[in-house]
Amino acid sequence: MKKVRVRYAPSPTGLLHIGNARSALFNYLYARHFNGEFIVRIEDTDVLRNVEGGEASQLNYLSWLGLSWDESPDKGGPVGPYRQLERLDLYTKYANALLEQGLAYKDYREGSENYAIRFKVPENKTYAFNDLVRGKLSFESKDVEDWIIVKDNGIPTYNFAVVIDDHFMEISHVLRGEEHITNTPKQLMIYQAFGWEAPLFGHMTIIVNEQKKKLSKRDKDVVQFISEYEQMGYLPEAMFNFISLLGWSPQGNKEILSQDKIIAQFDPKRLSKAPAMFDKNKLAYINSRYIKKLSIDDLAVKIKPFLDKANIEIVDEAWLKLLASVFQDRLSYIGQIVELYHEFFHDDFKLTDDAYQFLVENNSLALIEAFRKMLENQAFEVEILDQAIQDVSQQLDVKGKPLYMGIRIAATGDMHGPSLANCMALLEKDRVLNRLQKVADKLRGDL
């Protein structure tokens, strides 16, 4: 097997979106699995659609996802330049070579001296290749019209430039979306015209939404751009993991995999032939698993910018870490901390019907009143609050769910959650005492 060299070749026309991120990721995985090389090339010939900062944005978010590359515009390399607009002389040279061989011809615009160059499609020829994902595919030349390889402004078309670039950059394998299948016969024509060996092609299936419609930038139900996930507080490791599963399946049922394990297992033979569904719930689950792996110190650092942006006062570093520990298991993405904070500290403290019914059925009034009285002269520290729970348990001979859930409902409004003492310490003394009093008053009034 010859050395693996693959590429990701975006146009700098916008932000990195899910589809392009998957293309980049699968090529990266293929290169790293086979100890090959991953090249980033910028296809910037569509000048009118290029946006300022588009190239830098692409590279920035590839890096954020955890991808590294061996050659690119920013790193350089032996087969550069890596921007198409810097390679125009090369395209012109080989377009002229086709003209000289009679394999292409000039197509003049009516009433103008400007001309495009069209490739002369051979007659009665079959173009076949073994797709790494789909097996053998073939096309007949009779179904392809003579096509433009250089526009009348001197800019090469995609299907011509990509062949020149892939050949001289020694690209061995091309993994790309299935929308490129119909481009392949045109590209094979150019390879054969020059007598060059074509790379091996593999065409990934489309990504669909939960309604099984092709994911598009206009699909408002799915966040499209990697930058948006960063801004919401999704972790890059989780995004890498999730995107790797969009059309590829690892061995076994395990879905939470480190980058190293994904690289070790990656094989195009395990790429799906069926559309890959973008499951928002699955992404949230995977991200939550990665959040749970964070140390409290690391999570505290990550939630702080979101609290600052929401103008939420951070009492001190200990309070921030306590907040992180209380909500770590409930976060699907880091930015959710703001929503959870407001729900937790909401002044309009109300109980659900189920929660209130639990207190009634377990005669929790005495427990709540005794616990509140016990807390009046206590410092609100986690260890002291834990001891207070044990003390009221012994005093009233209440244990288990009636004890812990009774206090939790009255203090936090929730029937389940993280450490009860941590929650109360975070809520602070006045708020907890007020809530306990409010619930006790309601229970007493309903007797």
pLDDT digits (tens, 9 = 90+) for 174-231: 999 999 999 999 999 999 999 999 999 999 999 999 888 888 777 778 898 999 999 9
Q: What is the mean pLDDT of the chain?
A: 95
* pLDDT at residue 144 is higher than 80: yes
For 202, phi then psi, to 5°, come to -140, 130
What tens digit of pLDDT does each residue of 145-183 get?
999 999 999 999 999 999 999 999 999 999 999 999 999
Cα–Cα distance for residue pair 74/70, rounded to 1 Å? 10
* Residue 2 a catalytic site member: no
The per-residue pLDDT for 146 is: 98
pLDDT for the residue numbered 1:
67
Per DSSP, the residues of 294-343 read S-HHHHHHHHHHHHHHTT-----HHHHHHHHHHHGGG-SSGGGHHHHHHH
Mean pLDDT for 427-444 is 94
- Once rounded to an integer, what is the mean pLDDT over residues 424-442? 95
The residues, any chain, with a CB within 8 Å of residue 364's CB and separated by 6 or more, are: 358, 402, 406, 409, 410, 443
Question: CA–CA separation, 305 vs 307, rounded Å?
Answer: 5
Q: What is the pLDDT of residue 268?
A: 86
Beta-strand relationship, 276-277 and 207-208: parallel
What pLDDT score does 219 carry? 75
- pLDDT for 48 equals 86
pLDDT band at 105 (very low <50, low <70, confident <90, very high): very high
C-alpha to C-alpha distance for 70 and 23, rounded to whole angstroms: 17
Of 106, 217, 261, 401, the catalytic one is 217
pLDDT digits (tens, 9 = 90+) for 77-98: 999 999 999 999 999 999 999 9
Give the span between the Cα atoms of 241 and 86, in whole angstroms.
35
pLDDT tens-digit readout, 12-21: 998 999 999 9
pLDDT for res 112: 82
Query: Which pLDDT tens digit goes with each residue over 119-142?
Result: 999 999 999 999 999 999 999 999
Residue 27 tokens read as: 């090529």
pLDDT band, very low/low/confident/very high, at 334 (cuts 50, 70, 90) = very high
Distance of CA 325 to the CA centre of its chain: 25
pLDDT interval class at 76 (50, 70, 90): very high
- Mean pLDDT of the 32-42 span: 98
What span, in angstroms and rounded, lies between the C-alpha atoms of 403 and 389?
8
Domain ranges of the chain: 345-445
The 10s digit of each residue's pLDDT in 361-416 is 999 999 999 999 999 998 999 999 999 999 999 999 999 999 999 999 999 999 99
Quickly count: other Cβ atoms within 10 Å of residue 225's Cβ: 18
pLDDT greater than 60 at residue 447: no
Q: Are 144 and 186 in contact (CB under 8 A)?
A: yes
Q: Which CATH number applies to 345-445?
A: 1.10.10.350
pLDDT for the residue numbered 211: 87
Q: Is a pLDDT exceeding 80 seen at residue 348?
A: no
3-state secondary structure of 137: strand
Residue 336 has pLDDT above 70, yes or no: yes
Q: Residue 225 has what pLDDT?
A: 94
